[in-house]
Every structure is written in C-alpha cells, then in structure tokens.
Amino acid sequence: MAFKEAFFRFKNRKTSKLNKQDLYSNIIKLKDSMNVKRVKYDLPAGHIIRITGNYLVGLLEGDGSFYLNKQDMTVRVSLATTTPNKVVLEKIREFLLNLLDKYSYILGSNTKLISINDKKARGDNKPISILEISQIDYICNILIPYFDSIEFRTKKYIDYLDFKKIAFFILEGKHLTEKGKQLIIKLGDTMNNNRLSTNSNLLTLDNTTKSELDLLFKSKPLINIDSEGRAIVIHEKKYIRSTYIIKAIFLNGSINYFTNGVSCAKTLHVSNNIITQRLNDGKPVKNKEGLIVAQTVKRIKVYSSKSPT
C-alpha cells in the first residue's frame, strides 16, 4: 500500500498541491515505512486476503521449507512470516483444510494437522509465526498431488522433488532399515541451504548413491495401510499410526463422528476398550447395564488419495 501511494504521488506530481520539496519528502517518508522498516501492519478496512495455489507456492518459494528431520525421520513443510502477518498463515490453513473431503476435514480441523506457532523475537529480529505440516499421509496423499498441479518458478522446485521422494520413502517404511535410512538422509542432506551455489561445502549425490536410491524406490513397501487408515509394519505386524475418524450410528438412525476412541467412549459412557472391540467386530455398543447405546461404530479412513464414500 505504501508503494502504491508513493507511485501515484510521483505519477501525479504535476497536479499535486504540494511543492516539489514537500512532495519528494512525503515519498521518501513512504519509502522509509516499507519492508524491514515497516512498523505499522494494520490492513485497510475491508481488505480481503485471497489465497490461491499459485500464491501459496510463491510464498513457499520465498519463505518456505521442505525439511527432513533426521532424528525421528519425519518430513515437514513449513512457512514462516513475521507475527503481525500471522493472519496470512491462518488463511492458508483455512484454504488447505477446505481442500479436504468432509471426513478428512473433521479430523484435520480438530487436530494439529496444520499447526501455527509463534516464536519470540531474538536480538534485532522480529517475532515470527511458523505454519507447519508433518502428517505423512496428508502430505503424500493430499498436499503433494495438489502441489504437483501448480508450477514452481524457482530452484525450490528441486528441493520439492527431493522432498517428495523422501516423503514417499517414509510413507512406505523404507526408512525402517538402516540402509534405507542412511540413503534417505543422504538425499535430505542435499536439500535447502546445502544446494545453494554460495555454499562452499556443496553436497551432491554420487552415481552409486543415485543407483541405490533408485533400487530403494523400486523395493516393496515395508508398511501397509489398510482400508480403515491403520498403518502396519508388515514384518512385525505392528500398527504404528492411524488416520481415521469414528462414525457412530445410533438406534434412531442419527450419526455422530469422533476424532478418536476416547471421545467416542466418553460420549457413549463406555470404556475405550469397548469401543476398540466394537470397531473390530462390528457388534452394537452396549453400556454396563447391557443397553445398546449405538447400533454400530466404524472406522472411516481419512487423508486418502481416494475420498471415502
């Protein structure tokens, strides 16, 4: 807005009521209120923030990051801005949630699927707010296909392509072997600042590592995700995460949805173990008195590439 005002003041300088010195002084004053020198962040009355896919990718290319956490082998998409501009992140979260099917929206809007956290100012730096996404099923099945439909215009696209490979490696459990983990870390180490031409210790992958990564890509998944959204390590037969909501159908035909077994059990006044048993066997849910409190409860898979029906 300051730039716009300064531009039109200069453009209309011949018809301005200000003398030349005052006019230029006002323009310099506007210039000094921009960018890092800006202290006023209030938006004009009635201003509407419109988020689009291209707008989002543009922000990611400038202030975003595709990141691999080598400690717990998780991936993360993050976007930072100064805290006074936090409303932009909130609008982005709203935009992304609205891309979900109705069941995924129930879980995503009631959990920290897309979190926004504030960080205090340090030294001369301004306080910042960070939007983060780390849920692997959502990233692989929803976010990446969406990003694939949008054109990146900077070298951040190369980071995105590597991030995409890493995300699917982790979704399929390829990181669970030591060899797979080390290969994924090597790929992650070439991203972000390590890829900059200004980096004196530029990291690249040799041909052997590239061939091993190709074999890893072609190898069979070590994790299977069932039709109810439960991810199981195949050789251990152990569930490691789940992405589902619970649908409860009552005797009168009404339906309620729950984001977890605990909230479902609390509403139905039964134990969490009872809910788990009924989810597994499909029988009616009964309370301690033997009365049926729900005709059935079932898991509905969310964050899936195919919308549930």
According to DSSP, residue 284 is labeled P
Which residues fall within 8 angstroms of residue 48, CB to CB, at 6 or more apart? none
Query: What percent of the chain has a predicted confidence (pLDDT) above 90?
Result: 74
Which residues fall within 8 angstroms of residue 18, CB to CB, at 6 or more apart? 26
Q: What pLDDT score was predicted for residue 41?
A: 53
Residues 18 and 60: beta-carbon distance below 8 Å: no
> pLDDT per residue over 195-214, tens digit each?
666 666 777 899 999 999 99
At 262, is the pLDDT very low, low, confident or very high (cuts 50, 70, 90)? very high
Question: How long, in residues, is the chain?
Answer: 309
Residues 302 and 107: beta-carbon distance below 8 Å: yes
State in Å, rounded, how far the first CA of the chain is from the last one: 46
Query: Do β-strands 74-82 and 64-69 pair in parallel, antiparallel, or remain unpaired?
Result: antiparallel
What region, left, alpha or beta, does residue 258 occupy, with left being phi > 0 and alpha being psi -120 to 50 degrees?
A: beta
Q: What pLDDT score was predicted for residue 119?
A: 92
Q: What pLDDT score was predicted for residue 21?
A: 78
| From 83-92, 189-198, 289-298, the region with the lowest mean pLDDT | 189-198
**Cα 87 to chain center, whole Å?**
16
Q: What pLDDT score was predicted for residue 24?
A: 75
At 44, is the pLDDT very low, low, confident or very high (cuts 50, 70, 90)? low
**Whole-Å CA distances, 211 to 39, 169, 281:** 52, 15, 46
More confident residue, 13 or 122: 122
Q: What pLDDT score was predicted for residue 309?
A: 56
According to DSSP, residue 84 is labeled G
More confident residue, 136 or 18: 136
Q: What pLDDT score was predicted for residue 45?
A: 63
Instruction: Give the mean pLDDT of the chain.
Output: 90
Q: Is the pLDDT of residue 307 over 70?
A: no
Average pLDDT rounded to a whole number, residues 236-260 = 96
CA distance 180 to 140: 18
Q: What pLDDT score was predicted for residue 252?
A: 95
Q: What pLDDT score was predicted for residue 1?
A: 63
Q: Is the pLDDT of residue 133 over 90?
A: yes
Q: Is the pLDDT of residue 81 over 90?
A: yes
Average pLDDT rounded to a whole number, residues 38-62 = 79
Enter the pTM of the model.
0.84
* Three-class SS state of 19: coil
